[in-house]
Amino acid sequence: MSWQEQYRGRVVLISGASLGIGKELARQVWVNGGMVIATGRNAQRLDEAAQLICRGSDEDARRRFLVVAGDVSKSEDCRAAVDSGLHAFGRIDYLIHNAAVFHFDRIDSASEQVIDQMIDVNVKGCIHLTRAALPALRDSHGGILFVSSISAFYGMPEYGLYALSKAALTPLSESLRLENHAHGVFVGLTYLGYTANEPDKRAINAQGVPQPIPERPRTFTRTREAAARGILRQLIRRQSVALPSFLGHINWVFSYLMPRFAFLIHKRSYRSILWPLTVSLLGLGLPLSVQAQDRAVELTVRVGGLKSTGPSHLVIGLFDRASFPDGRPLQHATIHVDEPRMHWRISVPVATYAIAVYQDLNRNGRLDKSTFGFPTEPYGFSRNYRPLYRGPMWKDAALQVDRDAAIDIHLIAPER
């Protein structure tokens, strides 16, 4: 079962769901058969988002999308959102803390009102909504996911208050994870990088006046769809921490391993005109471990144990940690089987990968399974992992590819 299918019948409470990533999160949960509790401060925008997402659907499908207007900085509004969701759906499986206020200005210029608003929404809002939803999440053995930012690693110029509020989510999530482990509640954190904004998205200046958000470098900007997919995949797989962007990995490396160099780099990025220089310096100063990601090597996958009973296809997929085993592979191939042993040769960047392969005996484009979910066609994984009581996990099949290499996978014959 894919991670998308696992949202069918699940109830997800999403804060800040009227715009941007929050709206896209709500859409993806809903189209995959889940129930959405969408909350945000602007009732009109929430209604418009719901109408856009549910447009053309029947009444039963529309009932799976619940709109609850409210401000997460107010504990009573958080309780109202949770109570409304429980009344409508009877349970809450997941909580995604997406609501946030964005501030772009110098700290010494910010008014007390702006400082309070940043802390009230971005930090206290997460606390209020978590406290309200925890009893329901403990009942469902559900999960909580905090949406943080790569700015939490190092305070960028004029992003200080925002960075502070996002950095606070790290110890908060860690404490909640420990406190609720015995209750079966998962707690995760994702450090998002630059993500494309909707045209109506605004930041507040030093006086609290909404203004357009500064344009992000397009080279490092992800789509809202990709960001939402990563968040939902992380949540369903119960992955504690995710750092989905390349720029985020760079920021982490410099902030924690090379803090003095990080200061020089960020100092030069203070003025937007120097952004090209900043990128150049980042490229020159990356540690070898990061530089290696751009170096291509040749990987050969040799597959044995193929059946020769009529025409068939060999289907091979190369995965990273985020996509293995049920997501979309980074690279894949469908090869006509004409020998008992086949091979697949590709060029890949230095990194850690997992490989899944199966022989499509009836050429229907999928791995056939029995009523109980066991494969009925030959299959296999890198490191020749053989599943026993569960499907493969990343650690079972992951292998480091840092030079030209050839690996052998012997297909597992399905039990009859």
Residues 131 and 270 in one domain: no
Is there a single domain that holds both residue 276 and residue 179?
A: no
Residues 216-234: what's their mean pLDDT?
Answer: 80
Q: What distance, in Å, lies between the first and last C-alpha atoms of the chain?
A: 22
User: Which residue type occupies 104?
Assistant: F
Residue 253 is assigned to a structural domain of this protein: no
Give pLDDT tens digits for 75-111. Answer: 999 999 999 999 999 999 999 999 998 877 788 888 8
Q: Report pLDDT for 122.
A: 95
pLDDT of residue 404 exceeding 70, the answer is: yes
CATH number at residue 93: 3.40.50.720
93 φ/ψ angles, rounded to the nearest 5 degrees: -95, -40
Give 178-208 pLDDT, tens digit per residue.
999 889 899 999 998 777 776 666 666 666 6
What is residue 328's predicted lDDT score, i.e. its pLDDT?
Answer: 82
Residues 222 and 267 grouped into a single domain: no
If DSSP states are collapsed to H, E and C, what string results for the chain? CCCCHHHCCCEEEEECCCCHHHHHHHHHHHHCCCEEEEEECCHHHHHHHHHHHHCCCCHHHHCCEEEEECCCCCHHHHHHHHHHHHHHHCCCCEEEECCCCCECCCHHHCCHHHHHHHHHHHHHHHHHHHHHHHHHHHHHCCEEEEEEEHHHCCCCCCCHHHHHHHHCHHHHHHHHHHHHHHHCCEEEEEEECCECCCCCCEEECCCCCEEECCCCCHHHCECHHHHHHHHHHHHHHCCCEECCCHHHHHHHHHHHHCHHHHHHHHHHCCCHHHHHHHHHHHHHHCCHHHHHHHCEEEEEEEEECCCCCCCCEEEEEEECCCCCCCCCCCEEEEEECCCCCEEEEEEEECEEEEEEEEEECCCCCCCCECCCCCECCCEEEHHHCCCCCCCCCHHHHCEEECCCEEEEEECECCCC
Based on the fold, state whether residues 122 and 64 are members of the same structural domain. yes
- Domain presence at residue 392: yes
pLDDT digits (tens, 9 = 90+) for 144-179: 999 998 888 777 777 788 889 999 999 999 999 999
> CA-CA distance, 402 to 332, in Å (whole number)?
20
**Residue 212 and residue 356 in one domain:** no
Predicted TM-score (pTM) above 0.85 = no
pLDDT surpasses 90 at 63: yes
Confidence of residue 322 (pLDDT cuts 50, 70, 90): confident
Residue 275 domain flag: yes
User: Is there a single domain that holds both residue 172 and residue 44?
Assistant: yes
pLDDT at 292: 39
CATH number at residue 302: 2.60.40
- Considering the domain architecture, whether residues 289 and 314 belong to the same structural domain is answered as no
pLDDT of the residue at 287: 42
- Residue 415 belongs to a domain: no
Evaluate whether residue 416 is within a structural domain. no
**Are 267 and 351 in a shared domain?**
no
For the residues 51-65, what does the mean pLDDT come to? 92
Q: Are residues 102 and 244 in the same domain?
A: yes
Number of domains making up the chain: 3
Q: Are residues 282 and 365 in the same domain?
A: no
Q: Is the pLDDT of residue 282 over 90?
A: no
pLDDT value for 1: 60
> Which pLDDT belongs to residue 27?
95
Return the active site residues. Answer: 162
5-9, 73-77, 400-404: which is most confident: 73-77
* Range scoring the smallest mean pLDDT among 14-18, 114-118, 282-286, 394-398: 282-286
Q: Are residues 91 and 232 in the same domain?
A: yes
Percent of the chain residues past pLDDT 90, beyond the cut? 48
> Domain span at residue 276?
258-293
